[in-house]
Structure 1
Amino acid sequence: MSDSTGNNGVPVHDDLERPKILIVHDNSAELFAIETMLSKLEVTLFEAGSGAEALSLCERHDFACIMIKLELKEMDGYQTALQLYERDRAKSVPCIFLGTAVEETFEQLVMADMTVDHCELPVIPAVLLAKTNMALHIHRYRRALDKEILKRRRVEEKLKQTAQVDQTTFIANRRYFKQQYAVEWRRALREYKPFSMIMVDIDFFEAFRDRYGSQASDLCVIRVGKAIRQVISRAADFVARIEGAGFVLVLPSTPSKGAVKLAERILERIHKLSIEHANSPVSQQVTVSMGVATVITSPNIEPNELIAMGDQALFRAKKDGGNQFFVQELK
């Protein structure tokens, strides 16, 4: 049994689970007859006496079907349908025109990707019910399709995020680093600004793993990664884990002086973690070595050159004993 609306366009008994049908008609007797025919369906009926009122209702409700009388006084049914089609909430709603359809105009609506049909007046109950049921079927199919598309998009987004996130530290992984570094480098090329990178490696990590085991090693990496991530705040800057005990900070539009300050803050934060490392020859707790590298981006410099500079600086810091950073700058 259908529910119908009152004079203010609000259904008397609105069931949110029921499909909503909007009837745009300015003849109360014919409107009553149509509503009586549709009373066998499990739907909620809405009334609109004009095209303007129909447009207003479509701003507030999602309809499964819209029935429009072709010969309305203020705005004819075709004009109403075209304006409804411009609304996102009504763009894909099937329309059933009530009256004699003008073939040329009807074809134009079909060509505009509108789902349209029509019933001659006076309406034959069996014909109207059949066409309404078809419109409701299309509505249900589209809703199910939209849900499936949304579900797939969410799965794809989750898979994409998982593919770009290190599953131990839950920060960016090597794959993300390669992709995003290329993006940031191309952006920086347009500006000829300084571009810095900090390579970070936990000192004597294998010795740590040998003494404390894999679980403690994972926890160590997690805490170090979190400490590194906390030193950056700009949207373009990011941290990625690129190997077992290795991280990289990508710092677009950052001069050497700014990168050095971040490296100093990282040393301080790692020291404050106070993670025991009895097998370290330089300290009784976990420390890191860093390679700080900076270039002024230009077409003459390849992105791999900055990475190589960072690796060289990191090697020098570790060679000198660790728990420090070394700086390389190409001006």
Structure 2
Amino acid sequence: MSHPHADFPLGPFTPYEANPILRPQGDGWESSNVYNPAAVVKDGQVVLLYRAHADDIVSHVGLATSDDGIHFERHPEPVISPTESYEEFGCEDPRVTEIDGTYYLTYTAWDRKNAQLCLATSTDLFTWEKHGPMFPDYNTFLPQGNDLPGPWSKAGGILATPIDGRYLMYFGEGSIYYAWSDDLIHWTPGPQDEPIMVPTAPGTFGEFLVEVGPQPIITDNGLILLLHNAAVKNADGTVRYTCGQLLFDPRRPTEIMAQMNYPWLEPSTYEDQNGLVSNVTFVEGLVHFQDTWFAYYGQSDSTLGVATYKVGEKYGSL
């Protein structure tokens, strides 16, 4: 299914002036940090599946709903929490795609040693079946390396539209890779030494790492659009995360056709620039709702913001 109002580059996006739209609350599982949300439209509402944790930094996935894409009502309990040894210290950073009434959610399992991309499925967004780690032998920080002894994979975005009868996922932190599936449960990744995208040239906004953002979408002319996150590392060891976009021809979905050369979203407010990890805008949710595109993102790993693009708005005119 193509989106009739999706072009490359998608935007311009304007951060909501009253961000954050969600902050930590209470004294329990979401009392310290709330960020990095997936998003989907269900029954005329925007549903966020967001990462949250207390001071222990053991992440859970919470759920919130909205009639306008801005003001959200939270479900009181998390919908996904750590239950397995490989995710003992967190279920992090969800992305979600709906296909034929089933929701396919990828998330990062964290055991304080290795990050592993995992899959869960649901038909109602509240009750989830976990399917375990997807790529247990992968390290998406290769080929540049991250000195980790074991597996490392994050950030899976599943394209809802099949290509030649198969489903496509882009995934990866460090570099971006691809995988194929016939059934949306079992996935075969491309070769470890053949990433689609590696960190960009020195002096550019993705020179430290690139990472998949929300689920990819099909544009109005049938091309695949993928929003992504990118980072630079400063001399003092801190990082700065901004957001880019990639474009693919479905006939050649593992070769980048075009990419933005500067960010469409970057840290600009106090919350964007101050938090658990400062100077971060990290987009994981994207929906088209009420003639507007909503991009949901984490602000410095601490609060949750949104930027909007109303269809018909244009970049600055001459």
Greater share of residues in strand: 2
Structure number having the greater helix percentage: 1
What is the TM-score with the length of structure 2 in the denominator? Answer: 0.19
Higher relative contact order (CA 8 A, sep 6+): 2
Structure of higher CA gyration radius: 1
